[in-house]
Amino acid sequence: MPAKPLATVRTAAALRRAVAQWRKRGDTVALVPTMGALHAGHMALVTRARRLAKRTVVSLFVNPAQFGPHEDFAKYPRDEAADRAKLREAGVDLLFAPDVAEIYPPGFATAVAVSGLADTLDGVHRPGHFTGVATVVAKLLIVAQADFACFGEKDYQQLQIVKRMAADLDIPTRIVGVPTVRERDGLALSSRNGYLSQDERALAPTLHRVLLDTAEHIEHGANIDDAVARATSELTMSGFDGVDYFAAVDAETLEPLDRLDRPARLLVAVQLGRARLIDNEPLKPTSRAPAAGSGRPRSGTRPRGGSSR
Ligand code: PAF
Protein backbone atom coordinates (compact mmCIF):
# COMPACT_ATOMS: atom_id res chain seq x y z
CA MET A 1 0.00 0.00 0.00
CA PRO A 2 1.46 3.42 -0.93
CA ALA A 3 2.35 5.50 2.14
CA LYS A 4 -0.09 8.26 3.09
CA PRO A 5 1.16 11.62 1.77
CA LEU A 6 2.18 14.24 4.30
CA ALA A 7 -0.76 16.56 5.05
CA THR A 8 0.18 20.02 3.78
CA VAL A 9 -1.38 23.45 4.12
CA ARG A 10 -0.23 26.58 2.38
CA THR A 11 -2.27 29.29 4.06
CA ALA A 12 -2.28 30.70 7.58
CA ALA A 13 -6.06 30.21 7.75
CA ALA A 14 -5.76 26.49 6.96
CA LEU A 15 -3.00 26.06 9.55
CA ARG A 16 -5.15 27.83 12.16
CA ARG A 17 -8.10 25.54 11.37
CA ALA A 18 -6.01 22.36 11.65
CA VAL A 19 -4.49 23.42 14.97
CA ALA A 20 -7.89 24.51 16.34
CA GLN A 21 -9.30 21.04 15.63
CA TRP A 22 -6.45 19.37 17.50
CA ARG A 23 -6.83 21.77 20.39
CA LYS A 24 -10.56 21.00 20.62
CA ARG A 25 -9.57 17.38 21.24
CA GLY A 26 -7.06 18.42 23.89
CA ASP A 27 -3.97 17.63 21.77
CA THR A 28 -0.80 19.61 22.43
CA VAL A 29 1.15 21.05 19.47
CA ALA A 30 4.84 21.63 18.73
CA LEU A 31 6.15 23.72 15.84
CA VAL A 32 9.48 23.32 14.04
CA PRO A 33 10.20 26.36 11.84
CA THR A 34 12.58 25.58 8.94
CA MET A 35 13.71 26.91 5.60
CA GLY A 36 13.82 23.38 4.18
CA ALA A 37 16.90 21.60 2.76
CA LEU A 38 16.38 19.35 5.75
CA HIS A 39 19.30 17.48 7.30
CA ALA A 40 19.85 15.49 10.50
CA GLY A 41 19.96 18.72 12.52
CA HIS A 42 16.40 19.57 11.47
CA MET A 43 15.31 16.00 12.09
CA ALA A 44 16.64 16.26 15.67
CA LEU A 45 14.28 19.24 16.10
CA VAL A 46 11.42 17.11 14.78
CA THR A 47 12.31 14.25 17.15
CA ARG A 48 12.33 16.66 20.09
CA ALA A 49 9.02 18.22 18.98
CA ARG A 50 7.38 14.81 18.74
CA ARG A 51 8.48 14.00 22.29
CA LEU A 52 7.16 17.30 23.59
CA ALA A 53 3.68 17.32 22.06
CA LYS A 54 1.01 15.08 20.59
CA ARG A 55 1.05 16.93 17.25
CA THR A 56 4.01 18.23 15.28
CA VAL A 57 3.83 20.95 12.64
CA VAL A 58 6.86 21.79 10.50
CA SER A 59 6.96 25.04 8.55
CA LEU A 60 8.99 25.31 5.37
CA PHE A 61 9.53 28.84 4.15
CA VAL A 62 12.67 30.36 2.67
CA ASN A 63 12.21 33.77 4.21
CA PRO A 64 13.40 36.54 1.85
CA ALA A 65 13.33 39.10 4.67
CA GLN A 66 16.29 37.50 6.44
CA PHE A 67 18.65 37.53 3.44
CA GLY A 68 20.77 40.55 2.61
CA PRO A 69 20.80 41.89 -0.97
CA HIS A 70 24.11 40.10 -1.72
CA GLU A 71 23.27 36.89 0.11
CA ASP A 72 22.16 33.53 -1.28
CA PHE A 73 18.33 33.80 -1.26
CA ALA A 74 18.05 32.84 -4.96
CA LYS A 75 20.53 29.99 -4.63
CA TYR A 76 19.42 28.70 -1.23
CA PRO A 77 18.90 24.91 -1.63
CA ARG A 78 15.23 24.01 -2.18
CA ASP A 79 13.81 20.50 -2.55
CA GLU A 80 10.30 20.32 -1.16
CA ALA A 81 9.70 16.75 -2.42
CA ALA A 82 12.76 15.41 -0.56
CA ASP A 83 11.85 17.39 2.55
CA ARG A 84 8.29 16.07 2.49
CA ALA A 85 9.52 12.47 2.27
CA LYS A 86 11.77 12.96 5.33
CA LEU A 87 9.01 14.61 7.35
CA ARG A 88 6.46 11.95 6.48
CA GLU A 89 8.92 9.23 7.45
CA ALA A 90 9.59 11.03 10.76
CA GLY A 91 5.88 11.06 11.65
CA VAL A 92 5.21 14.79 11.30
CA ASP A 93 1.48 15.58 11.36
CA LEU A 94 1.37 18.66 9.16
CA LEU A 95 3.58 20.70 6.86
CA PHE A 96 2.95 24.44 6.54
CA ALA A 97 4.55 25.54 3.27
CA PRO A 98 3.29 29.02 2.39
CA ASP A 99 4.47 31.09 -0.55
CA VAL A 100 5.99 34.54 -0.15
CA ALA A 101 2.71 36.38 -0.86
CA GLU A 102 0.97 34.44 1.93
CA ILE A 103 3.52 35.58 4.51
CA TYR A 104 4.16 39.05 3.07
CA PRO A 105 1.00 40.10 1.21
CA PRO A 106 0.99 43.40 -0.71
CA GLY A 107 1.07 46.26 1.75
CA PHE A 108 2.84 44.27 4.47
CA ALA A 109 4.51 46.93 6.63
CA THR A 110 5.40 45.46 10.00
CA ALA A 111 8.81 44.45 11.34
CA VAL A 112 9.77 42.94 14.67
CA ALA A 113 13.12 44.32 15.82
CA VAL A 114 14.77 42.93 18.94
CA SER A 115 17.20 45.63 19.97
CA GLY A 116 20.43 44.83 21.79
CA LEU A 117 20.53 41.09 21.17
CA ALA A 118 20.13 41.59 17.44
CA ASP A 119 22.65 44.43 17.16
CA THR A 120 25.75 42.41 17.97
CA LEU A 121 27.79 39.54 16.42
CA ASP A 122 25.85 38.30 13.35
CA GLY A 123 23.62 41.36 13.61
CA VAL A 124 26.66 43.53 12.74
CA HIS A 125 27.74 41.35 9.82
CA ARG A 126 24.24 40.67 8.46
CA PRO A 127 22.33 43.95 8.91
CA GLY A 128 18.56 43.39 9.02
CA HIS A 129 18.92 39.60 9.22
CA PHE A 130 17.50 39.18 12.71
CA THR A 131 14.64 41.56 12.09
CA GLY A 132 13.69 39.31 9.17
CA VAL A 133 13.98 36.25 11.40
CA ALA A 134 12.05 37.76 14.33
CA THR A 135 9.28 39.02 12.05
CA VAL A 136 8.66 35.69 10.35
CA VAL A 137 9.02 33.66 13.56
CA ALA A 138 6.56 35.99 15.35
CA LYS A 139 4.07 35.39 12.53
CA LEU A 140 4.60 31.62 12.64
CA LEU A 141 4.17 31.49 16.42
CA ILE A 142 1.03 33.62 16.32
CA VAL A 143 -0.58 31.57 13.57
CA ALA A 144 0.45 28.13 14.84
CA GLN A 145 -0.55 28.79 18.46
CA ALA A 146 1.81 25.97 19.41
CA ASP A 147 2.64 24.95 22.97
CA PHE A 148 6.30 24.47 21.99
CA ALA A 149 8.58 25.63 19.20
CA CYS A 150 11.98 24.01 18.62
CA PHE A 151 15.10 25.82 17.36
CA GLY A 152 18.68 24.58 16.95
CA GLU A 153 21.42 25.77 19.28
CA LYS A 154 23.66 25.95 16.22
CA ASP A 155 22.01 29.34 15.54
CA TYR A 156 22.59 30.37 19.13
CA GLN A 157 22.06 34.11 18.67
CA GLN A 158 18.83 33.43 16.77
CA LEU A 159 17.63 31.20 19.63
CA GLN A 160 18.22 33.94 22.23
CA ILE A 161 16.50 36.52 20.02
CA VAL A 162 13.46 34.30 19.49
CA LYS A 163 13.21 33.67 23.26
CA ARG A 164 13.37 37.42 23.97
CA MET A 165 10.85 38.24 21.24
CA ALA A 166 8.33 35.62 22.42
CA ALA A 167 8.65 36.82 26.02
CA ASP A 168 8.36 40.50 25.05
CA LEU A 169 5.27 39.93 22.87
CA ASP A 170 3.57 37.66 25.44
CA ILE A 171 3.50 34.79 22.98
CA PRO A 172 2.82 31.80 25.24
CA THR A 173 4.73 29.23 23.15
CA ARG A 174 7.67 27.67 25.04
CA ILE A 175 10.84 28.15 22.99
CA VAL A 176 12.99 25.03 23.18
CA GLY A 177 16.68 24.92 22.19
CA VAL A 178 17.97 21.65 20.74
CA PRO A 179 21.70 20.73 20.77
CA THR A 180 23.71 21.07 17.57
CA VAL A 181 24.07 17.95 15.45
CA ARG A 182 27.58 17.44 14.04
CA GLU A 183 29.34 15.38 11.45
CA ARG A 184 31.73 12.77 12.86
CA ASP A 185 34.61 15.22 12.47
CA GLY A 186 32.82 17.92 14.47
CA LEU A 187 31.50 20.16 11.68
CA ALA A 188 28.05 21.46 12.65
CA LEU A 189 25.40 20.41 10.14
CA SER A 190 24.12 23.25 7.98
CA SER A 191 22.15 23.46 4.77
CA ARG A 192 24.98 25.68 3.49
CA ASN A 193 27.77 23.10 4.03
CA GLY A 194 27.05 21.98 0.47
CA TYR A 195 28.72 25.20 -0.72
CA LEU A 196 32.12 23.93 0.51
CA SER A 197 34.69 22.57 -1.97
CA GLN A 198 36.52 19.36 -1.06
CA ASP A 199 39.50 21.27 0.36
CA GLU A 200 37.28 23.67 2.28
CA ARG A 201 35.30 20.74 3.68
CA ALA A 202 38.55 19.20 4.93
CA LEU A 203 39.47 22.44 6.73
CA ALA A 204 35.98 23.19 8.11
CA PRO A 205 36.13 20.92 11.25
CA THR A 206 39.09 22.99 12.50
CA LEU A 207 36.48 25.54 13.51
CA HIS A 208 34.95 23.24 16.09
CA ARG A 209 38.33 21.98 17.29
CA VAL A 210 39.52 25.55 17.93
CA LEU A 211 36.23 26.32 19.70
CA LEU A 212 36.64 23.30 22.00
CA ASP A 213 40.28 24.09 22.74
CA THR A 214 39.48 27.72 23.50
CA ALA A 215 36.55 26.79 25.75
CA GLU A 216 38.80 24.40 27.62
CA HIS A 217 41.55 27.01 28.04
CA ILE A 218 39.12 29.59 29.38
CA GLU A 219 37.43 27.11 31.72
CA HIS A 220 40.86 26.31 33.12
CA GLY A 221 41.60 29.92 33.87
CA ALA A 222 43.10 31.42 30.71
CA ASN A 223 42.54 35.14 30.22
CA ILE A 224 39.48 35.46 27.95
CA ASP A 225 40.86 38.20 25.68
CA ASP A 226 44.13 36.32 25.19
CA ALA A 227 42.38 33.02 24.48
CA VAL A 228 40.06 34.66 21.94
CA ALA A 229 42.94 36.47 20.23
CA ARG A 230 44.89 33.22 20.00
CA ALA A 231 41.87 31.38 18.54
CA THR A 232 41.26 34.10 15.97
CA SER A 233 44.84 34.00 14.77
CA GLU A 234 44.84 30.18 14.69
CA LEU A 235 41.76 30.20 12.45
CA THR A 236 43.28 32.79 10.14
CA MET A 237 46.58 30.90 9.93
CA SER A 238 44.74 27.62 9.24
CA GLY A 239 43.33 29.05 6.01
CA PHE A 240 39.87 30.40 6.78
CA ASP A 241 39.15 33.38 4.55
CA GLY A 242 38.22 35.65 7.42
CA VAL A 243 37.00 35.59 10.98
CA ASP A 244 33.90 37.79 11.28
CA TYR A 245 33.97 37.40 15.06
CA PHE A 246 35.15 35.12 17.81
CA ALA A 247 33.57 36.20 21.08
CA ALA A 248 32.98 35.08 24.65
CA VAL A 249 29.57 36.36 25.74
CA ASP A 250 26.96 36.04 28.48
CA ALA A 251 24.85 33.00 27.55
CA GLU A 252 21.56 34.92 27.71
CA THR A 253 22.23 38.59 27.01
CA LEU A 254 25.14 37.98 24.60
CA GLU A 255 27.01 40.84 26.23
CA PRO A 256 30.82 40.55 26.07
CA LEU A 257 32.44 38.86 29.02
CA ASP A 258 35.82 39.48 30.60
CA ARG A 259 35.56 36.89 33.37
CA LEU A 260 33.87 33.52 33.55
CA ASP A 261 31.59 34.22 36.49
CA ARG A 262 28.25 33.13 34.94
CA PRO A 263 26.97 30.82 32.19
CA ALA A 264 28.62 31.94 28.98
CA ARG A 265 29.09 30.95 25.36
CA LEU A 266 31.80 31.21 22.75
CA LEU A 267 30.39 32.25 19.39
CA VAL A 268 32.26 32.28 16.11
CA ALA A 269 31.61 33.10 12.45
CA VAL A 270 34.11 32.58 9.65
CA GLN A 271 34.18 32.84 5.89
CA LEU A 272 35.29 29.80 3.95
CA GLY A 273 35.03 30.13 0.20
CA ARG A 274 31.37 30.67 -0.69
CA ALA A 275 30.23 29.51 2.72
CA ARG A 276 29.92 31.38 5.97
CA LEU A 277 30.18 29.01 8.92
CA ILE A 278 28.90 29.76 12.41
CA ASP A 279 29.30 27.66 15.52
CA ASN A 280 29.28 28.01 19.29
CA GLU A 281 30.21 26.18 22.46
CA PRO A 282 29.09 26.59 26.08
CA LEU A 283 31.49 27.95 28.68
CA LYS A 284 30.82 26.73 32.18
CA PRO A 285 31.93 28.79 35.12
CA THR A 286 34.34 26.72 37.20
CA SER A 287 35.94 27.27 40.58
CA ARG A 288 39.25 27.23 38.70
CA ALA A 289 38.35 30.25 36.58
CA PRO A 290 39.49 33.21 38.70
CA ALA A 291 38.32 36.76 38.07
CA ALA A 292 41.36 37.83 36.10
CA GLY A 293 42.95 34.44 35.58
CA SER A 294 45.78 33.95 33.15
CA GLY A 295 47.24 30.65 34.29
CA ARG A 296 48.35 28.14 31.69
CA PRO A 297 45.51 25.92 30.61
CA ARG A 298 45.44 22.19 31.22
CA SER A 299 44.16 20.52 28.12
CA GLY A 300 42.36 17.32 27.28
CA THR A 301 39.65 17.34 29.92
CA ARG A 302 36.75 18.68 27.87
CA PRO A 303 34.48 16.03 26.37
CA ARG A 304 35.22 15.69 22.63
CA GLY A 305 33.57 13.31 20.24
CA GLY A 306 32.29 15.50 17.45
CA SER A 307 29.36 13.40 16.43
CA SER A 308 25.92 13.45 17.83
CA ARG A 309 24.58 11.71 14.74
O1 PAF B 1 16.84 28.82 11.36
C2 PAF B 1 16.15 28.92 10.33
O3 PAF B 1 16.08 28.02 9.50
C4 PAF B 1 15.40 30.21 10.06
O5 PAF B 1 16.10 31.31 10.50
C6 PAF B 1 13.97 30.20 10.65
C7 PAF B 1 13.99 30.10 12.16
C8 PAF B 1 13.18 29.04 10.07
C9 PAF B 1 13.24 31.50 10.29
O10 PAF B 1 13.15 31.66 8.92
Sketch out the chain's domains with CATH numbers: 8-178 (3.40.50.620), 191-283 (3.30.1300.10)
User: Best of 31, 39, 58, 63 to mutate for ligand 1, by most ligand atoms within 8 A of CB?
Assistant: 63
* Predicted local confidence at residue 305, as pLDDT: 53
* Predicted local confidence at residue 285, as pLDDT: 85
User: Best of 62, 112, 137, 153 to mutate for ligand 1, by most ligand atoms within 8 A of CB?
Assistant: 137
C-alpha dist (Å) from residue 265 to 34, 193, 259: 24, 23, 12
70 is catalytic: no
Nearest CA to ligand 1 atom 3: 34
Nearest CA to ligand 1 atom 2: 34
> Ligand 1: does its nearest atom lie under 6 Å from the Cβ of 58?
no
* Predicted local confidence at residue 4, as pLDDT: 80
Q: Is the pLDDT of residue 289 over 60?
A: no
pLDDT in tens, 231-268: 999 999 999 999 999 999 999 999 999 999 999 999 99
Q: Is the pLDDT of residue 299 over 50?
A: no
pLDDT in tens, 143-197: 999 999 999 999 999 999 999 999 999 999 999 999 999 999 999 999 999 999 9
pTM: 0.94
Please state the rounded mean pLDDT for residues 71-75. 95
Residue % of the chain over a pLDDT of 90: 90
pLDDT in tens, 40-69: 999 999 999 999 999 999 999 999 999 999
2 pLDDT tier (thresholds 50, 70, 90)? low
> Ligand 1: does its nearest atom lie under 6 Å from the Cβ of 19?
no
Are β-strands 264-272 and 242-250 bridged in parallel, bridged antiparallel, or unpaired? antiparallel
